[in-house]
Amino acid sequence: AASRSAHGCGSGALLGRFGVLLQALLALCAFSTLMLKRFKEPKEERRPWRIWFFDTSKQAIGALFIHFANVFLSDITEEDPCSLYLINFILDATLGMLLIWLGVKVVSWTVQRWKYTHLVFGEYGEPPQAAAWIGQCVLYLLIVAVEKILISFVLLIPCWTKLQQILLSYIPNPQLELVLVMFVVPFIVNAIMFWVVDSLIMRKYKQKDTLVINGSTETPRARRSEESRVLLSPDMDFDQSESDQDISGLQGTNQKMKQPSYHVVI
């Protein structure tokens, strides 16, 4: 107990007043990166606010689930909860990120195979339906729950205990350790994770306005490009030159007809 008070934060520090304040500040700063990402999107691909909320709220629910699971797991042992939380967080950001990516791919393939279009991540219908958003939230939460269970089994490996003892032992101030564990490192890593996961589960940009021409579907942009190619093609110049030749030929004939003819009489 003496070594624990000298090195590392004490039991309940993660849920203390200072710890909760750091977590609220972390949530505000981390999710602001998603708003920044929306404004970084091209104007023609930028999501409406309602679609953006549907996409990012899935991440918010999953991130809150992982965060409180890590807080609970870090405070049930006699070890330093800050170092244990940091280990959990690092595993979630590396191996857990890979598991979430794999889970999203498997679920997306499954729902598309069974034609459950309202469960495809990022597709909410026209107009957007709250029922589709709820279904996708449930699917994403299941993926995150499976990821957290698998990471918990990884933590049972004995090597993590030794790493936990030396991870933050060089920081003598418990509050400084709490700031590092609950704000600095999570903010940097969460900003990257939110950006990547949002790109993974958002709707991929598609040209909505299409034209059906001769039985084929074309976008207006493709149609304009085709018209531009036709207008700028050499064939048009060739036809124009032929027309000019025909006109000049007719003019030459008229001129010949107008010229007087002379006959030599012997």
* Buried residues in 40-56 as b, exposed as e (16+ CB within 10 A): eeeeeeebeeebbebbb
For the four alpha carbons of 179, 185, 186 and 191, in that order, the dihedral sign comes to: positive
168-177, 196-205, 224-233: least confidently modelled range: 224-233
CA distances from 52 to 28, 59, 102, 115 (A): 16, 11, 23, 24
Q: What is the pLDDT of residue 255?
A: 53
User: Cα separation of 128 and 142, whole Å?
Assistant: 22
Q: Which one is predicted more confidently, 1 or 205?
A: 205
Share of the chain above pLDDT 90, in %: 21
Q: Does the pLDDT of residue 44 top 80, yes or no?
A: yes
Cβ burial of 198 (10 Å; 0-12, 13-18, 19+) is buried
| 233 has a pLDDT exceeding 60 | no
Which pLDDT band, with edges at 50, 70 and 90, does 76 fall under?
confident
Q: Give the pLDDT confidence of 141-190 residue by residue, as tens digits.
A: 999 999 999 999 998 887 777 777 677 777 778 888 888 888 998 888 88
Position 95 scores a pLDDT of 93
Q: How much is the pLDDT for 150? A: 95
Least confident of 124-128, 195-199, 258-262: 258-262
Alpha-carbon torsion angle 187, 198, 40, 204, nearest 10: 170
Report whether pLDDT(266) > 60: no
| Cα–Cα distance measured from residue 250 to residue 242, given in angstroms and rounded to the nearest whole number | 12
Average of per-residue pLDDT values in the chain: 76
Q: How far, in Å, CA of 67 to CA of 23, rounded?
A: 9
Residue 89 corresponds to which tokens in the numbers above? 């967080």
Where exactly are the structural domains of the chain? Answer: 13-206
Query: Could you tell me which residue, 3 or 74, shows the higher pLDDT?
Result: 74
Q: What is the mean pLDDT of residues 123-140?
A: 91
Q: What is the pLDDT of residues 58-73, one digit of tens each?
A: 888 999 999 999 999 8
Which residue is associated with the tokens 């404004």?
39
Task: For residues 62-86, give the mean pLDDT.
Answer: 86
Average the pLDDT over 84-93 and give the result: 90
Q: Which residue has the higher pLDDT, 255 or 69?
A: 69
pLDDT average, residue stretch 74-92: 84
